[in-house]
């Protein structure tokens, strides 16, 4: 069953977050953007909704996690090459992100990541399709 994926993340400053993610090459759907939220396009059927914290709180009865203090989620996106992984992470750092861990090279898979301006963890991965484990 094919589905669309929408990840919802709370942000303190929507404009600041949009500027940061535009710097990484992401685009935004203006049809789903206002002063409270925006729809960041990751791919054909994959989106991240960046929601101002006050608006995000209307969707839950529990407190919003401070992603700088606790891990709420790790969002993982793929890249076309090892170089593209490093380029995205370097651009994130230039935009104000931090590095929570060093890159990991597993041979068939290379991963690196960053912590965005609101503390959300992003992992960027390249996997060699020829070396991936066979399907069972």
> How many structural domains comprise the chain?
2
Task: Give 17-38 pLDDT, tens digit per residue.
Answer: 999 999 999 999 999 999 999 9
> Which of 14, 42, 60 represents a domain boundary (last residue)?
60
Residue 83 has pLDDT above 70, yes or no: yes
The secondary structure of 18-58 as a DSSP string is: HHHHHTTT-EEEGGG-SSSEEEEEEETTEEEEEEEHHHHGG
Q: Which residues contact 23 (CB under 8 A, 6 or more apart)?
A: 91, 92, 94, 95
pLDDT, mean of residues 68-86: 93
Pair 53, 65: CB distance under 8 Å: no
- pTM of the complete model: 0.86
CA angle (7 as vertex; 99, 101 as ends), nearest 5: 15
> Do 8 and 40 sit in the same domain of this protein?
yes
Pair 117, 16: CB distance under 8 Å: yes
Specify the CATH number for the domain of residue 38.
3.10.180.10
Residue 135 has pLDDT above 70, yes or no: no
What is the rounded radius of gyration, in angstroms, for the C-alpha atoms of the chain?
Answer: 16
Residue 1 has pLDDT above 80, yes or no: no
> Which of 44, 60, 76 represents a domain boundary (last residue)?
60
Task: Give 90-131 pLDDT, tens digit per residue.
Answer: 999 999 999 999 999 998 999 999 999 999 999 999 998 887
Domain that holds residue 2: 1-60
> Do 133 and 79 sit in the same domain of this protein?
yes
> Do 71 and 36 sit in the same domain of this protein?
no
Q: Using CA atoms, how far apart are residues 97 and 121, in angstroms rounded to an integer?
A: 10
Q: Using CA atoms, how far apart are residues 37 and 135, in angstroms rounded to an integer?
A: 39
**The residue count for the chain:** 136
């Amino acid at each position: 069953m094919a589905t669309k994926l929408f990840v919802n993340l709370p942000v303190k400053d929507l404009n600041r977050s949009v500027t940061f993610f535009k710097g990484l090459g992401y685009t935004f759907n203006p049809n789903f953007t206002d002063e409270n939220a925006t729809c960041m396009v990751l791919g054909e059927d994959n989106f991240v909704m960046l929601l101002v914290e006050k608006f995000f709180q209307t969707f839950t009865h529990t407190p919003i996690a401070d992603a700088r203090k606790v891990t709420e989620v790790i969002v993982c996106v793929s890249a076309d090459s090892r170089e593209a992984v490093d380029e995205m992470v370097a651009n994130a750092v230039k935009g104000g992100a931090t590095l929570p861990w060093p890159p990991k090279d597993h041979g068939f898979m290379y991963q690196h990541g960053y912590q965005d301006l609101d503390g959300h963890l992003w992992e960027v991965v390249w996997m060699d399709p020829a070396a991936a484990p066979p399907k069972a």
